[in-house]
Amino acid sequence: MNSFADRLIRASRLDVSLYEEVERDRNATGQALAVVALASLATGIGAGGGLLGLAAGLIASLLGWYLWSALTYWIGTRILPEPTTQSSLGELLRTIGFAQAPGILRVLGVIPGLQVILALATAIWMLVAAVVAIRQALDYQSTWRAVLVVIVGWLAQLALLALVFMVLLAARS
């Protein structure tokens, strides 16, 4: 039995077998949600965000995780599938959730001078982890196809989140 901490470390190490494991483990969806929440809270703490910032960041992270997973599922299985592609939204939620594990290190942003470099390094690390996660969840043979799906899905998710927040801000006015 793999502990949650072990899974976090293996996800951060880009362990392909971890992503295959959580893809199959339907009980790991709650753990994937916890990874996203921990990375979000670590980012907020590392950035010196207050309670409202932590809450808003957590909501945005969870919404972004779901949107990115759903978009990736659609793009990867409908637009850019390989002959071997078989997946479900749950598989993408679990693998993409665990790909956020390096974001937990952002809590170290409380150390003066580390915030920007940590944010950049972990963002790149999480995108690389997402490539591994998505390649495994979509049963791709091509890493480059997984890179394309990551980029397209991530950009689409950012655009949708921006639209949601613009609508919410307009509604407040």
3-state secondary structure string, 16-60? HHHHHHHHHCHHHHHHHHHHHHHHHHHHHHHCCCCHHHHHHHHHH
Mean pLDDT over 13-20 rounds to 98
Q: What is the pLDDT of residue 160?
A: 82
Q: For the whole prediction, is pTM greater than 0.75?
A: yes
Number of domains in the chain: 1
Sign, CA torsion 147/148/151/154: negative
Sign, CA torsion 5/11/13/18: positive
Share of residues in the chain with pLDDT > 90 (%): 72
Sole residue written with tokens 């001078």: 113
Mean pLDDT over 15-31 rounds to 97
Are 137 and 19 contacting, i.e. CB atoms less than 8 angstroms apart?
A: yes
The DSSP annotation for 63-115 comes to HHHHHHHHHHHHIIIIIS--TT----HHHHHHHHHHTTGGGGGGGGGGSTT-H
Q: How far apart are CA 18 and CA 25, in angstroms?
A: 10
Three-state SS at 2: coil
Q: What is the pLDDT of residue 142?
A: 94
Are 32 and 130 contacting, i.e. CB atoms less than 8 angstroms apart?
A: no
User: What is the domain extent for residue 69?
Assistant: 4-172
Of 29-33, 72-76, 109-113, 144-148, the range with the lowest mean pLDDT is: 109-113
Enter the tokens of residue 9: 């470390």
Q: Which residues lie closer than 8 Å to 6 by C-beta, 6 or more apart? A: none
**pLDDT > 90? residue 171:** no
Q: pLDDT tens for residues 80-130?
A: 999 999 999 999 999 999 999 999 999 999 998 988 999 999 999 999 999
The DSSP call for residue 80 is S
Q: How far apart are CA 158 and CA 140, in angstroms?
A: 24
